Amino acid sequence: MRGPRLQDVAERAGVSMKTVSNVVRDYPHVSAAMRERVQRAIDELGYRPNVVARRLATGRTGFIAVAFADVAIPYFGELAHVASRRAQDFDYRVLLEETDDTLEGERALIASSEAGLVDGMLFQPSKMSSSEIAQHRSQIPIVLLGEMPAPLTMDHVMIDNVAAAREITTHLLDSGRRRIGFVGHETTALSETSRQRILGYQEALAAAGLRADPRMLVATSSIDATDTAASVREALADGWEVDAVVCRDDLAAMGTLRALHERGIRVPEDVAVTGWDDTRLSAVTFPSLTSVSPDVDALFTRAMGLLLERIAGYDGVGRHEIAPHRIVVRESAPAATDD
């Protein structure tokens, strides 16, 4: 049984097919009364515009790609959820892509997107250089997310990682902690994310008159909580003595909590622990995690706005914008008290 056609909607509404088409395409010159009349017929019949036909008529698909390294990571999964909801606010649907955190995966993503399957892309790269990404800006509208340096010609939305790391470290300093470690950066070359967060951590220590001791930094083989727990166990066995830990992300914080618990070290009484990303899991760990909380709604609303301007034809210089963040204080690192 065939579904309702444009002609069926026109007959139900008592208007021409051209008028129905104008409503479906959201042409601005259609009156509010006529738009309501046609929309009522669309809803009654359950009509759905043909995506292929719309693409032939407008040159657009109604889809955008949203690409992350690995959506199994809780933060990226939550970002994907928010991205989908924000895209719907603008009448777009999301095609979720994973790059496996590899250069090959990121290049394959760009190539497939340039094939015309989507109208634009929100992309958080980790491996492609800014110069290589810039070569593709004329082929598909792209807005970059995250900490990687962005070309001056491309739009970019991120939080201020250095400032956020400085704030979370200062929070620990204000509660009287002085031997503050950092956990979760890479064992080999630092990612831009780790570099910025370590920089903010070091700046806060320096402002408090403390030396940033490289022995206080604990690298991990991956951001997986299990790997982090193993690295922290090893550091503790080697004499790592801290009274607070800034973790690169919530997963690293969870692994740190596990390793400390196994050694009988109390959190926060003996060691305070902070996370990053304020994932849903951070509120249900024991103890619950104090964490840096990016405003992901604001981030994706602005990123979608920039992307739609690119899709509509804006070809100006890149816009580089900072989304807000805050520190969510929970049990693992409470605020200083007056007594």
Q: Give tens-digit pLDDT for 139-192.
A: 889 999 998 888 888 999 999 999 999 999 999 999 999 999 999 998 888 889
Q: Give tens-digit pLDDT for 45-88.
A: 888 766 555 655 566 788 999 999 888 888 988 889 998 888 88
Given this model, what pLDDT does residue 338 score?
Answer: 60
Is pLDDT at 337 greater than 60 in this prediction?
yes
Distance of CA 163 to the CA centre of its chain: 17
Q: Give tens-digit pLDDT for 267-279.
A: 999 999 999 999 9
Is pLDDT at 200 greater than 90 in this prediction?
yes
Both tokens assigned to 46:
């359950």
DSSP code at position 96: E
H/E stretch holding 65 = strand 63-68
Given this model, what pLDDT does residue 72 score?
Answer: 85
Q: What percent of the chain has pLDDT over 70?
A: 94
How many beta carbons lie within 10 A of that of residue 302, not counting itself? 19
For residues 122-140, give the mean pLDDT: 86
Given this model, what pLDDT does residue 246 score?
Answer: 99
Given this model, what pLDDT does residue 166 score?
Answer: 99
- Residue 82: which residues within 8 A CB-CB, separation 6 or more? 296, 297, 300
pLDDT grade, residue 321 (50/70/90)? Answer: very high
Given this model, what pLDDT does residue 26 score?
Answer: 64
